[in-house]
Every structure is written in C-alpha cells, then in structure tokens.
Structure 1
C-alpha cells in the first residue's frame, strides 16, 4: 500500500468518527455517558428520545468506536470508549465552535454570559482551595449521576432542591458549583439564583467528566 493510500485509510477512519458525532442527539448522549455507564432505557429517558431512536444513535456511536457495551442480565449497558480522549474530543469541538461559529458565540453571550459574567474557577485553582479547606464544593447533578461519580467532598444538591436546602449552604465562605460539563445550564442557573440571595459562588470551568478525564481523584457511591 502506498503512503498516499495509507494516509487516505487513516482519514477515512477519522471521517467515520467525525460522522458519528455529527448529530446533536449523539452529542447529548455522549454527555450523559460521560457521567457514567447507562442502559438504553435510561439514556432514552434522559435525552427525551424513543427507545428505538436512542438505540440507533448508540449503534452509530459504537461503529465510530466512541462507545462500548456490557451486558448485565437483560440489559445492555453503554459507556464511553477511551473516555479521556472522547471527552477531550468534545471539549475541542466546543472550543472551535465558540471561536468560529457565530450562533454559538451569540448563545454563550446572551444566555450563559448573562447569568454569570465572572471568570470560572480553573481546576488548578479549585484543587488549591480544596486542599486549604477554603471552599464548599456543590454538585448540581441529579442524585443518580452523583452516585456514579463526583468530585471528592462535594455536596450533592440538584437544582430543583436549592430553594428548600439553602440552610445547608454557608454564606461565610466561597462556593464552587459544577455539573455535567461546560454547557450544562444547571451551574449557571444555580450561580444566578444563589448570588441573588447573597451567596459567594462561582462555577468550575467545566464539569465532572473533564475533571475525571484529567486524571483527578473522584468518589463514587459504594
């Protein structure tokens, strides 16, 4: 095989990966799988899709070598293949979109920027503050996602529970909130709501999947 043919073979395989992520539903399914292993039924409910449609999208992701399966009894569970690289791929896609696509920039300004104009907390900064005991870490994802994995020492408080659980949050120290990833609205909504009530709160720069993909420590329910 010539060197040109070898290069074309590589590009052909890479194009299959690109095609696999070329649909908004499949990007959302990857986001959900980045929180932990899920069944088709669970993913269908989370994404608001039919079982058949979810299965079809997952099969395309599997052909693109982005997800893998494991059978447990009657259920087939899906998880990300090469989790670190797949999460990094989505992060790179987001960076290109934010820089080059006008629609993405407009949404980031009109929605996300309007709710939180402060610079987010970097992972490095958060690690220093956690080590010094200077921050309360708030996980805004649903309880089942928190159980699959979370940042060490995080307090789980889904967005819908904030109002009735305000007494659990300190007003004398900074809070850092995180959720599913950089485009997860949970942390933006929580930041806006809690700042309006006088809490000192900032967002983590991304979310749980990026923290885990960076090789940092995580905890999970027994």
Structure 2
C-alpha cells in the first residue's frame, strides 16, 4: 500500500469513528441525559425521572453513550450510577449550544418565547455574575434539586428547588436583589421562576449558564 493510500485509508476510518460519536449526540433524549449529567452523577432511575423517559429507554440510551465513551458507569450497592466520562463532554455540549444559538434563528426564537408576553428579565453573563459576586453580593437562588446543588453551586447560593420555591417565599429576603439560575441555557426554569418572583415584587436577574461553565471560566 502506498503512503497516499495508507493516509486516505486512515482518514476514512477515522471519520467513521467520529460519526459514531456524532450519531450518539444526534438524539434529543441522549442530549438531555448528558446535560443532566453535567450537574453530577445520577442513577438510571433519577435520570429517567428528570428527563421524562422510562427506565428502560433511559438505560438503552445510556448504554449507547457508554459504547462511544461519553459516559461511564459505576455500581454502588444496588444502584447503577452514570457519570460523564471526562470534562471534555460538557465542553462539547456548551460549544454545541454556542454554535446552535449563532446558527439557528429557530433556537433563538424559542429562547425569546419564554419571555414573549412580558419584558425579559436582565440576564447576567459569566463576567457579570463574577463581578456581582465580588461587589454587590446579590442573593443567589439555585433552582436545581438538592442533590445537584450539593455536588456544586455558585458561591453563597441558596437552594430553592424549582418545584418548592413558591411555597418558600417567606425565606427569601425582599431587601436584596435576586439572581436566579438553574441548569443552564437549555433549561427554562430560571426565566419562568424569575418572572414569578418578579410578579411577587422581587428584583430579579437571571444567570442562564451552568455552574460548570462558571467554574471553568474561573479556572482559566
């Protein structure tokens, strides 16, 4: 085999392997599973409930993700726990959202629909939230479930899971500006809950990035 043929054979075989990963990512359920694993390790049952799949369907999709090295699995007693295989996986997800927001007006339109009926809430960038944490010290509200909050959260954040917060308004100070965040740009809860808090008379800003994205920015 000539050097040219060897290089072309390698190229074609290498692209075939890339396609395996691309196919694994080309499914909304698997993307949702990966995005939830950015928040921390979870059992199959927890992932199925969060994403809205049956346990069997979630397991099937997780096995496909494992086959291409995007997730890893560990048995803890009677539970099977999945985690992201490396820190490069959330980097890929974040970049995919970046590219999609720039390339797809349909995605931008979906984001705008969350606040279409009223003026949008102020949104903080990673630079903004870092500056506010260092200066004005807003009251941060983490809307994720307690287990995700315990894995990692923004400094000083208070955990009010999105399905509990409206029953716990008495715990939230009215003399501080609120910053609300959840699971990132693909999660609409920060906008929805933020608007509900604004309707209750609170001053609210939202942070739409993930805790992981904020942590990576601080490490650079």
Q: TM-score, normalised by structure 1?
A: 0.86
Shift of 1:21: 1.0
Pair 1:136-2:139 in alignment: yes
Alignment TM-score, normalising by the size of structure 2: 0.87
Paired residue for 1:82? 86
RMSD in angstroms over aligned alpha carbons?
A: 2.1
Equivalent position of 1:154 in the other structure: 157
Deviation string, structure 1 residues 138-178 (Cα, Å, up to 9, x no partner)? 10112222223222211011223222322322333321111
Where does 1:1-222 land on structure 2 (aligned, <5 Å)?
2-83=6-87, 85-112=88-115, 114=117, 117-214=120-217
Q: Deviations over 1:58-96 (max 9, x none)?
A: 01111221101112223221101112x211211222223
Residue pair 1:25, 1:47 contacting (<8 A) in 2 also: yes
Q: Which runs of 5+ in 1 are unaligned?
A: 217-222
Q: Contact (CA 8 Å) 2:126, 2:217: kept in 1 or not?
A: no
Distance in 2 of aligned mates of 1:106 and 1:125:
24
Distance (whole Å) between structure 1 residues aligned to residue 109 and residue 128 of structure 2: 28
Give unmatched runs, 5+ long, in structure 2.
none
Structure with max Cα Rg: 2
Aligned length, in residue pairs: 215
- Which has the bigger relative contact order, CA under 8 A and spacing at least 6? 1
Q: Please give the secondary structure, in 2, of the residue aligned with 1:137.
A: strand
Partner of 1:220: none
Instruction: Quote the Cα distance in structure 2 between the aligned partners of 1:41 and 1:160.
Output: 19
Cα deviation, residue 11, structure 1 = 2.0
Structure 1 residues 141 and 91, CA, compared in 2 at 3 Å: closer, same or farther?
Answer: same
Q: Which residue of 2 aligns with 1:219?
A: none
1:159 partner SS? coil
